[in-house]
Amino acid sequence: MHSCTNKYQITKRPNMILTLYQRFLWMIFRRIWQTYILLLHIKTLKQK
């Protein structure tokens, strides 16, 4: 989205911290996504 700010952040901070932060976000995202799919499955099962 914001290419300028992203470039600025990458140059400002070490890559190691950035990658760790991205991994952390990705973990949370996957966790939420899995629970979301699970809830959808439960809903569909209840409807049947």
Q: So what's the pLDDT on residue 29?
A: 97
Q: So what's the pLDDT on residue 7?
A: 61
Say how many C-beta atoms besides its own lie within 10 A of residue 18's C-beta.
Answer: 14
Let me know: does 9 contact 2? Beta carbons within 8 Å. Answer: no
Q: So what's the pLDDT on residue 28?
A: 97
CA–CA separation, 32 vs 30, rounded Å? Answer: 5
Q: 1-48: per-residue pLDDT in tens?
A: 555 655 655 566 567 777 888 999 999 999 999 999 999 999 998 887
Alpha-carbon Rg for the chain in angstroms: 17
Q: So what's the pLDDT on residue 33?
A: 97
Q: So what's the pLDDT on residue 18?
A: 77
| Inter-helix orientation angle 15-47/3-12, to 10° | 130
